[in-house]
Amino acid sequence: MPILLLAPFVVLFAVFFIFPVLYALYLSLFVSHGGQNIFVGLQNYVQVFQDTAYWSGLLRVILYGVIQVTIMLIVALVLALLLDSDYVKGKAMFRLIYFLPYAVPGVIAAIMWGFLYAPQLDPLMSLFSAKHPLNLLAQGHVLAGIINMATWEWAGYNMTIYFASLTSIPVELYEAARLDGCSEVQTAIHVKVPMIRQTIILTVVLSIIGSLQLFNEPFVLASLTTISASYTPNMYIYNTAFSYGNFNYSAAMSVVLAVITFVASLFFLYMTSEPAPSNKKKVNRAEHPNMNGVPGEVR
Protein backbone atom coordinates (compact mmCIF):
# COMPACT_ATOMS: atom_id res chain seq x y z
CA MET A 1 0.00 0.00 0.00
CA PRO A 2 2.12 2.90 -1.19
CA ILE A 3 -0.67 5.24 -0.13
CA LEU A 4 0.14 4.40 3.50
CA LEU A 5 3.48 6.12 3.03
CA LEU A 6 1.59 9.36 2.67
CA ALA A 7 0.03 8.91 6.09
CA PRO A 8 2.61 10.81 8.21
CA PHE A 9 2.11 13.88 6.11
CA VAL A 10 -1.61 13.54 5.45
CA VAL A 11 -2.52 12.91 9.09
CA LEU A 12 -0.53 15.87 10.40
CA PHE A 13 -1.76 18.05 7.58
CA ALA A 14 -5.37 17.11 8.27
CA VAL A 15 -5.16 17.51 12.04
CA PHE A 16 -3.18 20.72 12.19
CA PHE A 17 -4.19 22.45 8.98
CA ILE A 18 -7.40 21.19 7.37
CA PHE A 19 -9.30 20.64 10.60
CA PRO A 20 -8.73 24.12 12.09
CA VAL A 21 -9.72 25.73 8.80
CA LEU A 22 -12.90 23.68 8.56
CA TYR A 23 -13.66 24.32 12.23
CA ALA A 24 -13.28 28.08 11.69
CA LEU A 25 -15.62 27.81 8.70
CA TYR A 26 -18.10 25.87 10.82
CA LEU A 27 -17.90 28.34 13.74
CA SER A 28 -18.43 31.28 11.42
CA LEU A 29 -21.92 30.04 10.53
CA PHE A 30 -23.24 30.32 14.10
CA VAL A 31 -24.04 32.96 16.67
CA SER A 32 -23.53 32.23 20.34
CA HIS A 33 -26.27 33.44 22.69
CA GLY A 34 -25.93 32.64 26.36
CA GLY A 35 -23.92 29.50 25.82
CA GLN A 36 -26.05 28.19 22.93
CA ASN A 37 -24.95 28.14 19.30
CA ILE A 38 -27.62 29.18 16.84
CA PHE A 39 -27.16 28.53 13.12
CA VAL A 40 -27.39 31.80 11.22
CA GLY A 41 -25.95 30.89 7.82
CA LEU A 42 -23.92 33.68 6.30
CA GLN A 43 -25.14 36.40 8.67
CA ASN A 44 -21.66 36.80 10.21
CA TYR A 45 -20.22 37.35 6.75
CA VAL A 46 -22.83 39.97 5.94
CA GLN A 47 -21.79 41.68 9.15
CA VAL A 48 -18.11 41.50 8.20
CA PHE A 49 -18.82 43.19 4.89
CA GLN A 50 -20.68 45.98 6.68
CA ASP A 51 -18.03 46.38 9.38
CA THR A 52 -16.21 49.62 8.63
CA ALA A 53 -13.69 49.00 11.42
CA TYR A 54 -12.57 45.78 9.72
CA TRP A 55 -12.20 47.35 6.29
CA SER A 56 -10.45 50.46 7.52
CA GLY A 57 -8.04 48.14 9.34
CA LEU A 58 -7.50 46.27 6.08
CA LEU A 59 -6.90 49.50 4.15
CA ARG A 60 -4.41 50.48 6.85
CA VAL A 61 -2.36 47.30 6.43
CA ILE A 62 -2.52 47.65 2.64
CA LEU A 63 -1.14 51.18 2.92
CA TYR A 64 1.44 49.82 5.35
CA GLY A 65 2.31 46.96 3.02
CA VAL A 66 2.79 49.14 -0.05
CA ILE A 67 5.17 51.48 1.78
CA GLN A 68 6.93 49.03 4.07
CA VAL A 69 7.49 46.20 1.59
CA THR A 70 8.86 48.60 -1.01
CA ILE A 71 11.29 50.26 1.38
CA MET A 72 12.33 47.03 3.05
CA LEU A 73 12.98 45.06 -0.15
CA ILE A 74 14.88 47.92 -1.81
CA VAL A 75 17.07 48.27 1.27
CA ALA A 76 17.57 44.50 1.39
CA LEU A 77 18.42 44.30 -2.30
CA VAL A 78 20.89 47.19 -2.18
CA LEU A 79 22.61 45.73 0.89
CA ALA A 80 22.80 42.30 -0.74
CA LEU A 81 24.25 43.74 -3.95
CA LEU A 82 26.80 45.74 -1.98
CA LEU A 83 27.85 42.70 -0.01
CA ASP A 84 28.13 40.75 -3.24
CA SER A 85 30.31 43.42 -4.88
CA ASP A 86 34.04 43.82 -4.63
CA TYR A 87 33.78 47.15 -2.82
CA VAL A 88 33.07 45.79 0.62
CA LYS A 89 35.54 44.38 3.10
CA GLY A 90 34.54 42.31 6.10
CA LYS A 91 31.50 40.82 4.42
CA ALA A 92 30.90 38.13 7.00
CA MET A 93 30.75 40.73 9.78
CA PHE A 94 28.31 42.97 7.92
CA ARG A 95 26.13 40.03 6.99
CA LEU A 96 25.88 39.10 10.64
CA ILE A 97 25.17 42.67 11.74
CA TYR A 98 22.40 43.12 9.19
CA PHE A 99 20.86 39.80 10.13
CA LEU A 100 20.98 40.40 13.89
CA PRO A 101 17.69 42.33 14.21
CA TYR A 102 15.89 39.25 12.95
CA ALA A 103 17.27 37.33 15.92
CA VAL A 104 15.47 39.71 18.29
CA PRO A 105 11.94 38.41 18.92
CA GLY A 106 9.30 40.68 17.37
CA VAL A 107 7.60 41.46 20.65
CA ILE A 108 10.86 42.40 22.34
CA ALA A 109 11.76 44.58 19.36
CA ALA A 110 8.39 46.31 19.56
CA ILE A 111 8.82 47.06 23.26
CA MET A 112 12.34 48.34 22.63
CA TRP A 113 11.26 50.63 19.80
CA GLY A 114 8.29 51.75 21.86
CA PHE A 115 10.72 53.13 24.41
CA LEU A 116 12.99 54.62 21.75
CA TYR A 117 10.03 56.45 20.22
CA ALA A 118 9.13 58.22 23.45
CA PRO A 119 10.09 61.84 22.68
CA GLN A 120 11.30 62.50 26.22
CA LEU A 121 13.70 59.58 26.20
CA ASP A 122 15.16 59.26 22.76
CA PRO A 123 18.12 61.51 22.01
CA LEU A 124 17.66 61.24 18.22
CA MET A 125 14.00 62.21 18.34
CA SER A 126 14.72 65.23 20.47
CA LEU A 127 17.47 66.32 18.08
CA PHE A 128 14.94 67.19 15.40
CA SER A 129 13.52 69.98 17.43
CA ALA A 130 13.90 70.78 21.07
CA LYS A 131 10.48 72.28 21.45
CA HIS A 132 8.25 70.05 19.36
CA PRO A 133 9.95 66.69 19.06
CA LEU A 134 8.59 64.27 16.50
CA ASN A 135 6.32 61.87 18.36
CA LEU A 136 6.13 58.57 16.53
CA LEU A 137 3.68 57.32 19.13
CA ALA A 138 1.13 60.03 18.34
CA GLN A 139 -1.97 58.91 16.54
CA GLY A 140 -1.08 60.20 13.08
CA HIS A 141 2.51 58.95 13.07
CA VAL A 142 2.34 55.56 14.69
CA LEU A 143 2.03 53.74 11.35
CA ALA A 144 5.35 55.28 10.31
CA GLY A 145 6.78 54.01 13.57
CA ILE A 146 5.57 50.49 12.83
CA ILE A 147 6.96 50.66 9.29
CA ASN A 148 10.34 51.60 10.71
CA MET A 149 10.26 48.72 13.21
CA ALA A 150 9.31 46.13 10.62
CA THR A 151 11.91 47.37 8.15
CA TRP A 152 14.60 47.22 10.80
CA GLU A 153 13.65 43.71 11.74
CA TRP A 154 13.08 42.16 8.33
CA ALA A 155 15.41 43.97 5.89
CA GLY A 156 18.43 41.94 7.03
CA TYR A 157 16.50 38.73 6.77
CA ASN A 158 15.47 39.40 3.18
CA MET A 159 18.99 40.56 2.43
CA THR A 160 20.26 37.16 3.52
CA ILE A 161 17.87 35.43 1.13
CA TYR A 162 18.97 37.68 -1.73
CA PHE A 163 22.61 37.24 -0.87
CA ALA A 164 22.31 33.46 -0.84
CA SER A 165 20.60 33.65 -4.18
CA LEU A 166 23.31 35.94 -5.59
CA THR A 167 26.11 33.59 -4.57
CA SER A 168 24.60 30.83 -6.67
CA ILE A 169 24.78 32.81 -9.91
CA PRO A 170 27.37 31.17 -12.21
CA VAL A 171 30.65 33.12 -12.30
CA GLU A 172 30.79 32.76 -16.12
CA LEU A 173 28.01 35.33 -16.42
CA TYR A 174 30.11 37.90 -14.59
CA GLU A 175 33.11 37.14 -16.76
CA ALA A 176 31.00 37.54 -19.89
CA ALA A 177 29.62 40.83 -18.58
CA ARG A 178 33.13 42.08 -17.80
CA LEU A 179 34.35 41.13 -21.29
CA ASP A 180 31.44 43.11 -22.70
CA GLY A 181 32.65 46.12 -20.72
CA CYS A 182 30.08 46.22 -17.96
CA SER A 183 30.84 48.23 -14.84
CA GLU A 184 30.02 46.83 -11.41
CA VAL A 185 26.81 48.85 -11.29
CA GLN A 186 25.77 47.70 -14.74
CA THR A 187 26.50 44.09 -13.82
CA ALA A 188 24.35 44.47 -10.75
CA ILE A 189 21.41 45.96 -12.62
CA HIS A 190 21.55 43.91 -15.80
CA VAL A 191 22.88 40.56 -14.63
CA LYS A 192 22.41 40.07 -10.92
CA VAL A 193 18.92 41.48 -10.41
CA PRO A 194 17.35 39.61 -13.36
CA MET A 195 19.02 36.41 -12.20
CA ILE A 196 17.40 36.56 -8.76
CA ARG A 197 14.02 37.67 -10.10
CA GLN A 198 12.27 34.57 -8.79
CA THR A 199 13.70 35.09 -5.34
CA ILE A 200 12.52 38.69 -5.32
CA ILE A 201 9.02 37.61 -6.32
CA LEU A 202 8.98 35.05 -3.56
CA THR A 203 9.99 37.61 -0.92
CA VAL A 204 7.35 40.02 -2.19
CA VAL A 205 4.63 37.39 -1.90
CA LEU A 206 5.71 36.43 1.60
CA SER A 207 5.91 40.12 2.53
CA ILE A 208 2.38 40.73 1.24
CA ILE A 209 1.12 37.91 3.43
CA GLY A 210 3.14 39.22 6.37
CA SER A 211 1.73 42.73 5.93
CA LEU A 212 -1.86 41.56 5.84
CA GLN A 213 -1.23 39.66 9.06
CA LEU A 214 0.40 42.57 10.89
CA PHE A 215 -0.11 41.97 14.62
CA ASN A 216 2.92 41.97 16.98
CA GLU A 217 4.07 45.54 16.59
CA PRO A 218 0.70 47.31 16.90
CA PHE A 219 -0.38 44.90 19.62
CA VAL A 220 2.61 45.76 21.79
CA LEU A 221 2.40 49.47 20.97
CA ALA A 222 -1.29 49.51 21.91
CA SER A 223 -0.36 49.80 25.57
CA LEU A 224 1.85 52.82 24.88
CA THR A 225 -0.46 54.61 22.47
CA THR A 226 -4.12 55.08 21.63
CA ILE A 227 -4.10 52.41 18.91
CA SER A 228 -7.57 50.89 18.68
CA ALA A 229 -8.42 47.22 19.14
CA SER A 230 -9.27 47.01 15.44
CA TYR A 231 -6.09 48.69 14.21
CA THR A 232 -5.23 45.79 11.92
CA PRO A 233 -7.49 42.91 10.82
CA ASN A 234 -5.48 40.40 12.85
CA MET A 235 -5.68 42.53 16.00
CA TYR A 236 -9.39 42.89 15.46
CA ILE A 237 -9.77 39.14 15.06
CA TYR A 238 -7.75 38.47 18.20
CA ASN A 239 -9.62 41.02 20.31
CA THR A 240 -13.02 39.90 19.05
CA ALA A 241 -12.27 36.34 20.08
CA PHE A 242 -10.37 36.83 23.31
CA SER A 243 -11.50 40.20 24.67
CA TYR A 244 -15.09 40.29 23.47
CA GLY A 245 -15.56 36.51 23.54
CA ASN A 246 -17.22 36.43 20.11
CA PHE A 247 -15.47 33.46 18.52
CA ASN A 248 -18.04 33.12 15.73
CA TYR A 249 -17.63 36.60 14.36
CA SER A 250 -13.89 36.30 14.79
CA ALA A 251 -13.91 33.10 12.72
CA ALA A 252 -15.86 34.82 9.94
CA MET A 253 -13.35 37.68 9.86
CA SER A 254 -10.45 35.20 9.74
CA VAL A 255 -11.97 33.39 6.78
CA VAL A 256 -12.48 36.65 4.88
CA LEU A 257 -8.89 37.70 5.63
CA ALA A 258 -7.57 34.32 4.49
CA VAL A 259 -9.47 34.57 1.20
CA ILE A 260 -8.23 38.12 0.60
CA THR A 261 -4.63 37.08 1.35
CA PHE A 262 -4.92 34.08 -0.94
CA VAL A 263 -6.37 36.09 -3.81
CA ALA A 264 -3.82 38.89 -3.40
CA SER A 265 -0.88 36.46 -3.38
CA LEU A 266 -2.23 34.50 -6.32
CA PHE A 267 -2.85 37.68 -8.27
CA PHE A 268 0.67 38.90 -7.67
CA LEU A 269 2.15 35.56 -8.68
CA TYR A 270 0.04 35.59 -11.84
CA MET A 271 1.13 39.11 -12.71
CA THR A 272 4.82 38.39 -12.27
CA SER A 273 5.09 34.88 -13.67
CA GLU A 274 7.17 34.45 -16.82
CA PRO A 275 5.20 35.23 -19.99
CA ALA A 276 5.41 31.65 -21.17
CA PRO A 277 6.71 28.65 -19.21
CA SER A 278 10.18 28.08 -20.59
CA ASN A 279 13.26 26.03 -19.86
CA LYS A 280 14.95 29.07 -18.44
CA LYS A 281 12.58 29.11 -15.50
CA LYS A 282 13.18 25.46 -14.74
CA VAL A 283 16.92 25.98 -14.85
CA ASN A 284 16.55 28.87 -12.45
CA ARG A 285 14.62 26.80 -10.00
CA ALA A 286 17.15 24.02 -10.09
CA GLU A 287 19.95 26.46 -9.50
CA HIS A 288 18.36 28.12 -6.50
CA PRO A 289 17.57 25.49 -3.95
CA ASN A 290 17.03 28.19 -1.33
CA MET A 291 13.79 29.16 -3.01
CA ASN A 292 12.16 25.99 -1.94
CA GLY A 293 13.83 25.83 1.41
CA VAL A 294 12.79 29.18 2.81
CA PRO A 295 11.16 28.86 6.22
CA GLY A 296 7.57 29.91 6.53
CA GLU A 297 8.03 32.90 8.74
CA VAL A 298 9.15 35.44 6.22
CA ARG A 299 8.11 38.97 5.50
Q: Would you tell me which residues interact with other proteins (CB under 8 A)?
A: 31-35, 47, 50, 52, 55, 59, 114-115, 118-121, 137, 139, 223-226, 228-230, 239, 242-247, 249, 267, 270-271, 275-276
Among 217, 213, 164, CA closest to 192: 164
CA distance 45 to 51: 10
* Residue closer to other proteins (CB basis): 11 or 59: 59
* Residue closer to other proteins (CB basis): 56 or 290: 56
Q: What is the DSSP string of 145-200?
A: HHHHHHHHHHHHHHHHHHHHHHHTS-HHHHHHHHHTT--HHHHIIIIIHHHTHHHH
* Residue closer to other proteins (CB basis): 155 or 252: 252
Q: Considering the complex, what minimum distance in angstroms separates the CB of residue 284 from other proteins?
A: 18
* Residue closer to other proteins (CB basis): 101 or 133: 133
Q: Provide the β-strand partners of residue 32.
A: 37
Question: φ, ψ for residue 32 (rounded to 5)?
Answer: -100, 120
* Buried b or exposed e, range 157-184, using 16+ CB within 10 angstroms: bbbbbbbbbbeebeeeeeeebeeeebeb
* Residue closer to other proteins (CB basis): 187 or 248: 248
Q: Considering the complex, what minimum distance in angstroms separates the CB of residue 199 from other proteins?
A: 21
* Residue closer to other proteins (CB basis): 23 or 244: 244
Q: Provide the β-strand partners of residue 36.
A: 33
Q: Considering the complex, what minimum distance in angstroms separates the CB of residue 37 from other proteins?
A: 11
Q: Considering the complex, what minimum distance in angstroms separates the CB of residue 48 from other proteins?
A: 11
CA distance 125 to 143: 16
Q: Considering the complex, what minimum distance in angstroms separates the CB of residue 98 from other proteins?
A: 28
Instruction: Look up residue 290 and give its amino acid.
Output: N
Q: Considering the complex, what minimum distance in angstroms separates the CB of residue 170 from other proteins?
A: 28
